[in-house]
A and B are shown apart, each in its own frame.
Chain A
Amino acid sequence: MKKVLLFLKNRYHIAAIGFLLIFLYSLIILFTYRFRELPDSLPHTIVKTIEQSSYQGMPLFTASQFFDHLIKKYPQFDIRAAGNKPWKQTETLHSFLLLTLDDDVAHFGDRKNLTIQKLQEDSGVYLFLLTQKSGKRILLLSSMIEKLKVSSSYHPKGSPFKLGVHKTGYKSWMYVGLLTENFNEKMHEGVWAHPLNKKGTFITIITPLMATATQITFQSGITDTGKCKHCSPVIATIVQGEHTQKINAPEGDWKTVPLKGFNPKKPLTITITTEKPGRRHYCFNIAYTMKK
């Protein structure tokens, strides 16, 4: 004991122990962490839970970038990449699923109006359901992009659906697809539908049949990046049988408008137009309140 104490009295010996500990730590990290593959699938019970019909169409957020590679593995799920700050994207959502690697929903659960429910836990993977306290089950049109029927001046017979988006023209930004962007510095998920590049052109979107929907609201806006004083307004004309409603998108903001008199179950035809299409970074969404 005396020898040990004498040994430790010398600060260089303590420094040498530091080297030894770093060496051992590096070896452990090397063989237990660096060389280890990430799990290439989700636990079976978690997959089964997500597959339940009540969660279909619900976005699946992830708390760690370790889940990113599972986006390729499970194309049937709407898994969102965990990079940047994904919890910001959920701030305006009514309900979503969350995968985490611990029992902590961290930033995702910061909203006071959310109910957090642990659905499943298996092999260190946790699945949560986060819903608004109102108890309403709301589905967004943006999570059903594949089900939209889209046509445009360039594709009057129907826009081709390629790589997850409906191409409405020949330029890279001419498409109808999901986008999460800032509107008045708050993130909203929407359907990107930038008006086409010539006066008199149009985009028409037909929404799918929603058999269990009980209520609908229309949301739209021009992103903060497209905000502009002298640009032409973007108008969405919503038609269902005899009912028609025209909605102007706010500049750099997001507006929700109830669609009164429309049958929430039946498809809507939405036509997007503008006089001058420059910098019209337009998005819209439809929130369906579903029968419980």
Chain B
Amino acid sequence: MIKKESNLKNILTPLLLALLYLFLLLYHTDRVPLTDDARFYLEAGEQYAIWFEEGIKTGNLLKPDFIDRYWQTNHEHPPFAKLLMASGYLIFHKWSGLCNKILAQRLPISLFAIFILLFLYRFARQAFSKEVALFASLAFIFLPRTLFHARVATLDFAVAGTSFLFVYSYWRGYESKRWAWMTGPLFGLALATKLNAPFMLFPVVIHFLIVHGKEIFRGKISRIFIPQFVSMLLFSLPLFFALWPWMWHHTVDRFLEYTTFHMKHYGILMYYFGEVYREPRPPITAPALMMLITTPVVTLYAATLGVTLYRWKLDYKNNYPMTLTLLAAFISITALMFLPAPFYSGVKLFQPFFPFFAMIAGVGIALVFNKIEIQKSLKTGLFLLLFLPTFITTLALDGAHLSYFNDAIGGTKGAMSYRTERHYYDLFYPELIDWINRQKAKRIRIAFEPNGSEYNESSRILKKEKVLQNSFVYSSVESADYIVLTDEYRWKQYPELLRRYRRMKPVFEVKREGVSLLTVYKKH
């Protein structure tokens, strides 16, 4: 049964955790590089905000032509995360003028991350104990790659968050009618975030069979109509369509277009242990191995303890929370292992895995914590110290958290020595922007290799927001004054370019952990 406590300590701990996460999310927020897909989502967020504002003013909000004008943008992805960004655009940029469009649209994702952290605390607190809640929250906060996704205006963190909320609500629904009925709308919200949300149905259904399987196999078929499932049947799809004005007319055609687009997604290159993959895609073990080398070792160890030391026999007492958590983690990563989905050089596409994994890690730490017989305050201090190395590494990476690799592989350097991509996502680094802005020339023509076009699009956004000075001109290699060579082996031409450009003068370099991420060469 769920324990109810409401003393000051129980409010203070999550509050302090939220403040710590807020600090990490906002610390040097201007050092977070721009991703190559930001242009789609930032544009979409702005368009949806204008649709809302103009639509209310003119009364055209529901008119098909008016909807299409604004919702045409990035209609291949569902709207929830972009609606968050749209709210940021209006609140932090347009109405208050507090920050530029980029930061304004990133902030709601970060605030949503705090919200998810608090729910994670709540889930762990209700399912296990306050110690599990504390350590699960810390394990979640100190996931450097997840931290990156929680700081940029993209969909990956949002789908992790909405998937987590859905699973929590389903589990909580066994004790609370209100949450049971919330399950449907929350699943609808997850569906309206990204296409990988439906995979969360599998852990929920398997968990349901574990809880009610015996009754159902004895013929009590009516047990399947638990309020959570009824709510999902009634509310999920209607909410999905309700949140997405693009689907409000030509619904069938557009829904089919949405699903078929993702069935035929173009391949993504991945450099993985000395091999460049697109077709055939990387080995099926790749998502699991990428997770193993990009999650802090302490968290991996704690999760292993969580699974092995947990008293599984008692899991039934609280409606099998550990079983559900483990299933949710397992399925969110295996879905990517076995599906012909595109793959990136990181853990971007299975972010829903991480909140559940952090919960399991929290269980592992708390189990040990509770059995050690030393003074509690000293014990707490020592266990908090476990996260210190990751905390320092996180700060030192200074925004480039996609270059985080754990100690088992030897950090960014180790990943490089094992011939694994040290960064991806065509990141436009703030250091590079600063270097460009320091150049005094009236026009500074810069070419990007080996994959230039993405930087052209990103530079337009940065110039529009006056982050990048107007003297910057995106240029072809032939007419450039400088060439930026990003160190990415997935591009076949990279090794030869590195060799070819050796006679030019390197004038600037972006490095993390002593490893080069890009070099600027002066051409003439």
Q: Which residues of A contact B (CB under 8 A)?
A: 10-13, 15-16, 18-19, 22-23, 25-27, 29-30, 33-38, 64-66, 68-69, 71-72, 74-75, 78-86, 162-165, 167, 172, 177-180
Contact = CB atoms under 8 A, between A and B. Distances in A.
Contact of B371 (A10, A64, A85, A178): A10
A13 B271 CA distance: 41
B518 to A, nearest CB: 12
Contact of A65 (B385, B419, B506): B419
Given A12-B309, A29-B410, A72-B506, A80 B271 contact: no
Nearest to A34: B411
Contact of A75 (B296, B489, B502, B515): B502
A164 B499 contact: yes
A287 B392 CA distance: 54
Contact of A85 (B275, B392, B396, B412): B275
Given A11-B309, A36-B514, A29 B496 contact: no
A159 to B, nearest CB: 13
Contacts of A34: 393, 396, 411-413, 513-514
B371 A83 contact: no
A162 B478 contact: yes
B201 interface: no
Contacts of B515: 38
A65 B416 contact: yes
Given A36-B514, A177-B500, 7 more contacts: A18-B305, A19-B383, A19-B386, A23-B385, A34-B393, A82-B419, A85-B275
Given A64-B417, A164-B501, A178 B407 contact: no
A145 to B, nearest CB: 9
Contact of B274 (A38, A85, A165, A180): A85
Interface in B475-524: 477-478, 483, 487, 489, 494-496, 498-504, 506, 513-516, 519, 523
Given A12-B309, A12-B371, A15-B368, A84 B276 contact: yes
A64 B419 CA distance: 8
A17 B312 CA distance: 23
Contacts of A69: 516
15 contacts: A10-B371, A18-B305, A26-B389, A26-B390, A27-B389, A29-B407, A30-B407, A33-B410, A37-B514, A65-B417, A75-B502, A83-B495, A84-B495, A164-B501, A172-B477
A83 B271 contact: yes
Interface string B293-327: 00011100110010001000000000000000000
Contacts of A172: 477
A82 B495 CA distance: 8
Contact of B503 (A13, A38, A164, A177): A164
Which range contains the number of B residues in contact with the other chain?
Answer: 35 or more
A235 B340 CA distance: 42
Contacts of B413: 33-34, 38, 66
A35 B397 CA distance: 10
A78 B495 CA distance: 12
A155 B445 CA distance: 25
What are the 6 closest A-B residue pairs judged by CB atoms, nearest first? A164-B500, A12-B371, A26-B389, A81-B495, A83-B489, A75-B502
Interface in B345-374: 365, 367-368, 371-372
A16 B372 contact: yes
A172 B367 CA distance: 61
A84 B500 contact: no
B275 A84 contact: yes
Contacts of A11: 309
Interface string B125-152: 0000000000000000000000000000
Nearest to A64: B417
Contacts of B297: 22, 25-26
A150 B190 CA distance: 60
Given A12-B372, A15-B368, A80 B499 contact: yes
